[in-house]
């Protein structure tokens, strides 16, 4: 019996170690997480933010021809109500899915850049939001929407509503920050850098499908993203990232995800670590 005692002790120690590892993994998986879903909307933009305290923030609603995918995706994620809808830009590739969202979900609050628009979908959606008496605010009225107890949201651009510039929103959980740049133009990017000197973010949603006129070296040196997500469409030349932008992102060390190649992209965090998940 004594001969087998060391083996028995070793097996017991291995079993105990395996139990501790399993317990650690289970505890890690049970930790509250912030999850950000970059939904594949073809040439359109749409981002779903799900906070650790179970709040849902939807930034834009993509193009109309992908609205079925948007509604299906939100439903599969268990979304029943949208606590904050951000209309970051009024172009059709940002608001085309709004009618479907308004039909399907209750909405607590809307935040809008409120610029001039030639989009009939945008105008009709705003009229319906007012008709339903959904709380409606512009960036001038609310730059720090109080949606979540655990995640701070801040509108860093534009500085006032009605300018025609898209909303750029920044939020974070613990040590991990996200910067959603919408359709930020090269001119506005320069003005944003002049106003904000601390834009460092772990995750960057690249502006304007990765157009070469934005996401400059100077901008990347300030933001220092570890991950970058580009909304792109394989069938639309205008919704494809420019190689110069991809080169700049590669040079700064960012891992790049593209919805035209990866499908829906999900980046989640417990405030310290980051997990990535792609559809393809």
- Cβ contact 134:107 at 8 Å: yes
**183 and 211 in contact (C-beta within 8 Å)?**
no
- Stretch 121-140: mean pLDDT, rounded? 95
Question: pLDDT by residue (tens digit) across 218-276?
Answer: 999 999 999 999 999 888 777 899 999 999 999 999 999 999 999 999 999 999 999 99
253 and 148 in a single domain? The answer is yes
Strands 84-87 and 56-59: parallel
Classify strands 168-173 and 152-157 as parallel, antiparallel or unpaired: antiparallel
pLDDT at 63: 92
Tell me: pLDDT of 27 over 90. Answer: no
Show the domain range for 105. 31-278
The count of domains in the chain is 2
- In the three-class reduction of DSSP (H, G, I as helix; E, B as strand; rest coil), residue 132 is classed as coil
274 and 184 inside one domain:
yes
Q: Is the pLDDT of residue 173 over 80?
A: yes
pLDDT in tens, 185-214: 889 999 999 998 789 999 999 999 999 888
Looking at the structure, do residues 24 and 42 belong to the same domain, yes or no?
A: no
Residue 90 sits in a domain whose CATH number is 3.60.15.10
For every residue of 12-59, DSSP letters joined together read: HHHHHHHHHHHHHHHHHHHS--EEEEE--BTTB--EEEE-TTS-EEEE
Whole-model pTM: value is 0.88
Q: What is the pLDDT, as a whole number, of residue 15?
A: 54
| Average pLDDT over every residue of 88-92 | 90
Average pLDDT, the chain: 89
Same-domain check for residues 80 and 9: no
Q: Are residues 46 and 14 in the same domain?
A: no
| Tens digit of each residue's pLDDT (9 = 90 or more) over 32-66 | 999 999 999 998 999 999 999 999 999 999 999 99
């Amino acid at each position: 019996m004594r001969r087998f005692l060391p083996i028995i002790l070793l097996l017991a120690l291995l079993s105990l170690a395996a139990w501790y590892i399993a317990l650690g993994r289970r505890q890690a998986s049970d930790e509250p997480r912030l999850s950000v879903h970059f939904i594949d909307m073809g040439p359109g933009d749409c981002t779903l933010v799900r906070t650790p305290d179970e709040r849902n923030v939807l930034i834009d609603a993509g193009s109309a021809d992908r609205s079925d995918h948007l509604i299906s995706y939100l439903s599969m994620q268990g979304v029943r109500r949208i606590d904050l809808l951000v209309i970051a830009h009024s172009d059709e590739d940002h608001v085309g899915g709004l009618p479907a969202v308004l039909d399907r979900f209750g909405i607590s609050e809307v935040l809008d850049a409120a610029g001039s628009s030639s989009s009939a979908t945008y105008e009709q959606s705003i009229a319906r939001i007012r008709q339903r008496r959904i709380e409606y605010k512009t960036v001038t009225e609310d730059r720090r929407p109080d949606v979540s107890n655990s995640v701070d949201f801040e509108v860093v651009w534009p500085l006032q509503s009605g300018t025609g510039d898209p909303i750029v929103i920044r939020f974070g959980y613990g040590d991990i920050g996200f910067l959603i740049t919408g359709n930020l133009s090269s001119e506005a990017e320069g003005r944003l850098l002049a106003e904000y000197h601390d834009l460092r973010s772990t995750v960057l949603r690249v502006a304007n499908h990765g157009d070469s006129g934005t996401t400059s070296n100077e901008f990347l040196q300030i933001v220092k993203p570890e991950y970058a997500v580009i909304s792109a469409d394989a069938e639309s030349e205008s919704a494809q990232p420019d190689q110069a932008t991809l080169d700049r992102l590669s040079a700064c060390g960012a891992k790049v995800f593209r919805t035209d190649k990866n499908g829906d992209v999900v980046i989640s965090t417990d405030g310290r670590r980051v997990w990535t998940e792609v559809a393809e």
